[in-house]
Structure formats: structure tokens, C-alpha cells
Amino acid sequence: MPDRYDAVIVGAGFSGLYLIKRLRDAGFSVLAVEAAPSVGGTWYWNAYPGARCDVESFDYSYSFSKELEDEWDWSERYPGQPELLRYLNHVADRFDLRRDIRFDTRVTSATFDEPANGWTVGLDNGDTLEARFFILAGGAISMPNFTAIEGRESFAGQIYHTGTWPHEPIDFTGKRVAVIGTGSSGVQTSTAIADKVAQLTVFQRTPNYTAPVLNHPLTPEALAEWRKTSGERHERSRHSRQGIPYAFPTVAALSVSAEERQEAYRNAWENSHLFALRLTYSDLMVDEAANETVSEFVRGRIRETVKDPVTAERLTPRSYPFATKRPCLGKGYYEMFNRAHVRLVDLRETPIVRITPEGIETTEGEAPFDAIVFATGFDALTGAAARIAITGRDGLTLHEAWAGGPETYLGLASAGFPNLFLVTGPGSPGPLTAMVKSIEQHVDWITDCLEHLRAQGLAAIEAEPEAQAKWVEHVQQVADGTLYPRANSWYVGANIPGKPRRFMPYLGGLGVYRAKCDAIAAAGYEGFVLSGPAALPELATERDQRGGQIGG
């Protein structure tokens, strides 16, 4: 007999851990299936040199437990990957979550069993689980895009992808290293290893806008102040656009003088957090001319920092407005290109032809390397779900349902897939916010929903196709009112060859979105079909038979 749970969760990162906690506290039996040997999700896999969150520690930690907050001392303004991983391990231990996680195991399939109103979940070790609810919490930016470049297999040196970094130390001292990609991961890796390597060559396809990261240790006073005010800070963030406690501006960039703008940008640049420049004026993401003023400000910083004018120009983003791709925070990124052993290869001028046993061949010739780092990003938002063979009602596969782009209701559910939930799925604001706030909102909503179904004696919930179609259209309309769709970003899937182009995150803001989700729940889950009663044997009874053991 397969093991049976109320809910099977994919992943034990920020989302999976909080799901286990909430659902278990609510009396549901849960099992999280995690491919890694430990907890952490994104922060387990992205162990590359210099990996650091671009959202401040205070806004990138759970807010559900004051005790947790009081006992955990963040050491820096921006948390590094090792500290985030320690934090998530601490959370797993503190709330005794590991006993409901199956590690080193991947979910390979999930099939909805219509008469039973539940899911049969297949694992890569051949085991099968049964669950009333199947929850995809495998991360929005978690499926590595390991770009297929001819000859990769032939390379005699080491090859890494930032998103699947080995956990043993890698020593780049004295090595000739190539980094392909200049998103956040590429910027962080390059700047972290630049001091050690003999030669660093950065292969850039599209220049980015990188602001300086102003990281610093957190003093005991700062931590004390944070603990005193965190309740209010979290609450402000929960109702904000981006899950951070900073107010959205009301003044338009073009309504003030050029001098005033310049001063505001300079101030944001020098006191930067990731969102600081974007939050300088209200119209930056909706008005091209307004955005051009901030884009040009950043270009000016590149020109004044990079000594060689040709390299400076190659590093200068011109093909898309500022912040329509996620900007980067970097420590001495542009300065790095002034160093004699650091070289920039502009792939727009000299594309890669192939990888050879010795190195990388571009149209200008071959360069030898000891190691190649792929910082080529992720199949974001849909990649983690796509690797699982998901079959819903009437044999409909998720692959078929999303062939033209992901179709969801609220980014939480998809029509044809009853009792399946997505955490920070496409159509939700997650990736455009401080993720943990969005994760908490989704997990709380899902838990409330499961409690509601149980209280009403209902067995299934499914998005209505009409409500879903309206939501998809709404997500698109909101995006189309902004400059965001202009960039070839992972927000639109442009980084993955063949992926349908669709703006995936919801840009209406976390606060607005939260209110919509709450109103929908309060109205009896408007836009969802709720049905029952349960055909599966009573799960609580099952649990009782196991001697009160929750989760197996």
C-alpha cells in the first residue's frame, strides 16, 4: 500500500518548510519530498562563491514566529547563502520539520485520481505516495538553465552551474576561469573570485544595470531596534507592492528638474537597496521617458567607473529600460573590469562557436580555461513544475495545459488540476517581491483553504476555467500597462529557447493581490469549484491507526 498523506509537497525550501509547519499545526498529515540531501531549496543549491540575497535580512526572513525572530541574529544587512542555509536548517530543527521530509528523492510524476479526488505521486526511487492535495513548492527560480553549447561535454577542465554548485570547497586560486552570464549570479560569482583567479573572462550576452551593494554587519543595536519594530515592518511589507517596508513614491520623475532627479538618483545609488532607484519616482516603470532618466543615470556611473571606453560601452545596457530585467547588486562589479587580468567578451560581437577540450572558441578565436562557470540562469516559474509529469482530470497534462504559456488562477491553482496548489506560481507577484513575504501569504491562504474544505466536509477544489481566463488576462493587462514586457527577461521566458513569451509574474503588487485572494476566500472561494464528499478513506482515521503519528 502506498503511504497516504493529506498533502504531499514538492520541495523543502522556504515554501516547503513553512507549509509543513502550518499544515501540521492545522492537523493535516504532510510529507515534503526534497531532491537535495538537506533543507534549503534555492539556498541549498546556489552555493556558488559570493551568493547573497539582494533583499535585506530583515525582509527576507519568516515573520510567522516572534520567538524565531528573537533568537536568530542576522549578521549582515544582506544575508549570504551560507547564513541563509544555516537559518533554514535552524528553522527545520527548531520546529522539528525534518521528520516530515523525504530527502534525496525527486517527485517524477503526479496523477489525479478522479474517483478518489486525490493524487498519486511517483518518486524517482520507484515508490508511490497518495495524497489528497499536491503542492508544488519547488521554487520559482530553481530549474537551472544549463545552456546547451556545442562541445560542452568535451571540455577537459571543470564545469559548474551556479544553480547546482557543489558543496565541497572549490579553489579557483591561480586558475583561468570563464563566467558565462551577467545576471545576479554571474555578477556575484565574478566579483567573488576575481581576487583569486589568474585570469577572469566574463562572457556577456546582455549588459545589466548593477548598483553597488552596500552591505554591512548588523550591530546589536540594529538587531534590537529591528526586534522592537519588526511587527510593524512586516505588516507594512505585507501590504506593500514588493513585500518590502518602503513607501511607493508619489512624485513623477518628469515633474521635477533634471538636477533634482540627479540628486535623488545619486542618493538612492549611494544608500542603495535593490529597490531604491526604482522607488525614487512613481513613473519609472510605466513611462519610457521617465525610465530613460534613471537608465541614463546608471549608464553615467558605468562610464565614470570603467576606464577603457570600449569596455565601458560594452557594459552599458541600452536595449531595455532599467529594472525591466531584475537589476543586480554587485560589490565592485564595474571596477573589476579595470583590472588587467579581467576581460569582457561581448557575445553580441563575438558569439561562442563551441566549447573545446581546452577552452571556449568564439568568432574571434579560442581562449584556454581551467574552469567554466555557467551563470546562465533558470527556467523560471514553470521549470520546476515542468520536470514533473503532472496529469490532471481527463488525462490532461500540465504540459498540454500550459503549452501556450502558464495558465493559472491567482498563480495558486490551474483549471483541470483539482487539489493542486502552486506556491508563488506564474500569475502571482512572488518573483517581483521579497519572496518570503509572498511565500507566507500563499502558504497561509492554502492552509486556510484546506481547513475550510475539511470543515465543510469537501473533498476537492478546482479553478474554474472562466475565472482563470479572466485572471490570465488581468495579469497580462497589468503588465502591458508597464515597461516590463519590453525586456527579454526570465519574467517573459525569453531566456529559454522555445518557451512561449508571456509576462508571468503579477505586477499588481503584493498588497493588492493579498486583498484579492482574501476577498475570494471570504466569498466562499469565488472562481473555484468546491466539491465533495471525500472518496478517499478518512485520512484522520488513517492517521489515528498509525498511533497518532503525523506524516509517516
In this structure, are residues 57 and 196 in contact, taking their beta carbons and an 8 Å threshold?
no
- Least CB distance from residue 147 to ligand NA7, whole Å? 4
Please give the order of strands across the beta sheet that includes 371-374.
Answer: 158-161, 371-374, 176-180, 199-204, 342-346
Produce one character per residue of 380-406: b if its CB has 16 or more CB atoms within 10 Å, e if not: bbbbbbbbbebbbeeebebeebbeebb
CB of 527 to ligand NA7, least distance (A): 29
CB of 275 to ligand NA7, least distance (A): 12
List the beta strands (DSSP E) in 410-550: 420-422, 460-463, 528-531
Q: Is residue 499 a contact point for ligand NA7 (CB under 6 A)?
A: no
Torsion of the alpha carbons at 354, 356, 207 and 509, rounded to the nearest 10? 80
CA distances from 239 to 28, 136, 358, 477 (A): 29, 24, 53, 21
| Nearer of residues 182 and 316 to ligand NA7, judged by Cβ | 182
Q: Is 198 helix (H, G, I), strand (E, B) or coil?
A: coil
Q: Is residue 386 near ligand NA7 by the rule CB under 6 A?
A: no
User: Does the footprint of ligand NA7 cover residue 142 (CB under 6 A)?
Assistant: no
Smallest distance from the beta carbon of 181 to ligand NA7, in angstroms?
A: 3
Asked if 49 touches ligand NA7 (CB under 6 A), the answer is: no
Among 29, 111, 117, 184, binds ligand NA7 (CB under 6 A): 184
Q: How many helices (H) and strands (E) does the chain have?
A: 16, 20
Residue 185 binds ligand NA7 (CB under 6 A): yes
Cell of 485: 514586457
Closest CB to ligand NA7 belongs to which residue? Answer: 183
Segment interacting with ligand NA7 (CB under 6 A) among 66-74, 178-186, 225-233, 383-391: 178-186
Decide: is 276 part of the binding site for ligand NA7 (CB under 6 A): no
* Angle, helices 510-522/435-456, rounded to nearest 10 degrees: 0
Nearest distance from residue 435's CB to ligand NA7, in Å? 9
Q: Does 181 bind ligand NA7 (CB under 6 A)?
A: yes
What part of residues 441-480 is at the interface with ligand NA7 (CB under 6 A)?
none
Helix (H, G, I), strand (E, B), or coil: what is residue 424?
A: coil
By CB under 6 A, residue 242 contacts ligand NA7: no
Provide the grid cell at 56.
Answer: 535585506
Does residue 320 bind ligand NA7 (CB under 6 A)? no
User: Does 353 interact with ligand NA7 (rule: CB under 6 A)?
Assistant: no
Which residue in the set 13, 40, 183, 425 belongs to the binding site for ligand NA7 (CB under 6 A)? Answer: 183
Q: What's the per-residue H, E or C state across 202-264?
A: EEECCCCCEEECCCCECCHHHHHHHHHHHHHHHHHHHCCCCCCCCCCCCCCHHHCCHHHHHHH
Q: Does position 138 bind ligand NA7 by CB under 6 A? A: no
User: Which CB sits closer to ligand NA7, 48 or 269?
Assistant: 48
Which residue, 182 or 408, has its beta carbon nearer to ligand NA7?
Answer: 182
Contact status: 63 vs ligand NA7 (CB under 6 A):
no
Q: Count residues near ligand NA7 (CB under 6 A).
A: 20
Phi, psi of 210 (to 5 degrees): -115, 120
- Is position 437 an interface residue for ligand NA7 (rule: CB under 6 A)? no
Shortest spacing between CB 280 and ligand NA7, in angstroms: 20
433 part of the interface to ligand NA7, by CB under 6 A = no
Query: Is residue 490 within the footprint of ligand NA7 (CB under 6 A)?
Result: yes
Span 196-215, contacts to ligand NA7 by CB under 6 A: 205-206
- Tell me if 376 contacts ligand NA7 by CB under 6 A: yes
- Asked if 375 is part of the footprint of ligand NA7 (rule: CB under 6 A), the reply reads yes
Q: What angle do CA 91, 228, 53 make, to 5 degrees?
A: 45
- For the bound state, the minimum distance from the C-beta of residue 162 to ligand NA7, rounded and expressed in Å, comes to 6
414 contacts ligand NA7 (rule: CB under 6 A): no
* Contact flag: residue 189 with ligand NA7 (CB under 6 A): no
- Which residues have C-beta within 8 Å of that of residue 13, sequence separation ≥ 6? 39, 40, 41, 42, 43, 44, 88, 137, 139, 142
**C-alpha–C-alpha distance, residues 479 and 485, integer Å:** 7
Is residue 377 within the footprint of ligand NA7 (CB under 6 A)? yes
Unique residue bearing C-alpha cell 549582515: 76
Cβ pair 130, 5 in contact under 8 A: yes
**Phi, psi (deg, nearest 5) at residue 382:** -115, -15
Query: Among the candidate windows 131-139, 285-293, 308-316, 369-377, which touches ligand NA7 by CB under 6 A?
Result: 369-377
Q: Which three cell numbers stand for residue 217?
A: 554587519
Q: Which residue in 26, 347, 389, 512 binds ligand NA7 (CB under 6 A)?
A: 347
Of 324 and 447, nearer to ligand NA7 (C-beta) is: 324
Q: Which residues contact 265 (CB under 8 A, 6 or more apart)?
A: 277, 280, 293, 294, 297
Q: Is 495 in the site for ligand NA7 (CB under 6 A)?
A: yes
- Site residues (vs ligand NA7, CB under 6 A): 141, 147, 162, 180-186, 205-206, 326, 347, 375-378, 490, 495
